[in-house]
């Protein structure tokens, strides 16, 4: 399962790897996230089959955490 969140930045200031690591660090409490991928337009949170239920149960909290992290990223990077 993949949850996508829009996350676009102006210019080329943002290294994809740095953005992914920023999100991994910010969301470390959500240990059911298997991978984070940034494609320049979306933050993709990837969950294995065994973690889908946890992702669904925590989707609102996770969404709020992602939105908060996007705001932090805009101000720190």
What does the CA dihedral 28, 30, 32, 34 come to, rounded to 10 degrees?
Answer: -40
pLDDT exceeds 70 at position 11: no
pLDDT per residue as tens digits for the range 51-77: 999 999 999 999 999 999 999 988 876
Model confidence, pTM: 0.85
Beta bridge partners of 38: 43
Of 28, 38, 30, the C-alpha closest to 62 is 30
Structure tokens at 5: 């969140």
Interval 21-47: pLDDT, tens? 999 999 999 999 999 999 888 999 999
Query: Which two tokens mark 20?
Result: 């992914």
Q: What is the pLDDT of residue 68?
A: 94
Question: Max Cα separation, the chain?
Answer: 37
- CB count in 10 Å sphere of residue 45: 23
């Amino acid at each position: 399962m993949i949850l996508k969140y829009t996350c676009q930045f102006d210019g080329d200031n943002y290294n994809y790897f740095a953005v992914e690591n920023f999100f991994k660090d910010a969301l470390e409490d959500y240990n059911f996230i298997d991978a984070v991928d940034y494609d320049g337009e979306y933050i993709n949170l990837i969950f294995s089959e065994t973690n889908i239920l946890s992702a669904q149960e925590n989707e609102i909290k996770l969404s709020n955490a992602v939105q908060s992290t996007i705001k932090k990223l805009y101000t720190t990077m």
